[in-house]
Amino acid sequence: MFPPRWFLPYDAAFQLITGLVALAVAVYALQGYRWVKERTLYALFLAFTLLSVALLVNSITLSYTYLVDMSFAHHAQGMCGVDIGFWVYYLISALAFLILVYAYASRLQDASIALASMLILGQRAVGGSIVGFAPYMELVLVALLVIIVLAQVFHLMAKRSWYSIGVTASFSLVLASHVLILFSPGEDTIHVVGRVFELAGFLTLLGVLYLLRRGR
């Protein structure tokens, strides 16, 4: 679940970059909201602002962990600042994805998809061995991202555009990254690949935002 020590500075930098990309999306949504006062845009602004805060908190936490030369073995010895940092990251991220899920579920046709995927995932989690070793919050993020990706895929099936293909690819990469991180304990390479996927996902989102701004 935690990155290898040599990867900590890179991990912190990756989280900083992804946090700034999320902030850029939030600012774009806010600019639009100021003009058209649509609830959907406010939901996107809120979700990406929270995501940006979560990622920046994680970046600070990882930097601190590296700078004070702390080992992740401390986790057996109770709560400390680093734990709080990680919990803040998980809770705010979950809230951000929950807002996105709510925005998707507000559309009637996607509400059933969201509910069905949540139930299927819930059954798998309870029945499988994954719960035994994976932190609960990481599993929550994966569940929320599955719903978001499913909603995106169903939207793509009905209406295809390069922008929505880009956003679907972006969320799929973020989902893949969280799944990999879920399975990463004891496997440093998987964790590193997971973080690279996450960065690639957010850079894809930045590309979509750039094209949207240019109006192409």
Partner 1 sequence: MKGPQKYRSKGRIFADILRAVAEDGPVKVTHVLYKANLSHDRLTKYLQQLEESGLILRENDGDRDTYTITDKGTRFIAEFRKMEEFADAFGLDI
- What residues make contact with partner 1 under the rule CB under 8 A? 28-29, 32, 35-41, 43-44, 100, 103-104, 107, 110, 151-152, 154-156, 159, 161, 163-164, 166-167, 208, 212, 215
Residue 117 Cβ, how far from partner 1 at the closest point, in Å? 14
Q: Residue 175 or residue 208: which is nearer to partner 1 going by CB?
A: 208
Residue 8 Cβ, how far from partner 1 at the closest point, in Å? 32
Q: Residue 75 or residue 107: which is nearer to partner 1 going by CB?
A: 107
Residue 193 Cβ, how far from partner 1 at the closest point, in Å? 26
DSSP 159-190: S--HHHHHHHHHHHHHHHHHHHHHT-TT-HHH
Within 8 A by CB and 6+ apart from 40, the residues are 103
Q: Residue 50 or residue 62: which is nearer to partner 1 going by CB?
A: 50
Q: Residue 25 or residue 180: which is nearer to partner 1 going by CB?
A: 25
Residue 44 Cβ, how far from partner 1 at the closest point, in Å? 6
> Rounded to whole angstroms, what are the CA distances from 133 to 40, 118, 123, 129, 162?
37, 20, 17, 8, 38
Rounded Cα gap, residues 8 and 61, in angstroms = 10
Given its phi and psi angles, is residue 3 left (phi above 0), alpha (psi -120 to 50 degrees) or beta?
beta
Residue 102 Cβ, how far from partner 1 at the closest point, in Å? 11
Q: Residue 1 or residue 30: which is nearer to partner 1 going by CB?
A: 30
Q: Residue 31 or residue 123: which is nearer to partner 1 going by CB?
A: 31
Within 8 A by CB and 6+ apart from 23, the residues are 48, 49, 52
Angle at 49 between CA 43 and CA 55, to 5 degrees: 135
Q: What is the DSSP letter of 106?
A: T
Residue 17 Cβ, how far from partner 1 at the closest point, in Å? 21
Rounded Cα gap, residues 96 and 170, in angstroms = 16
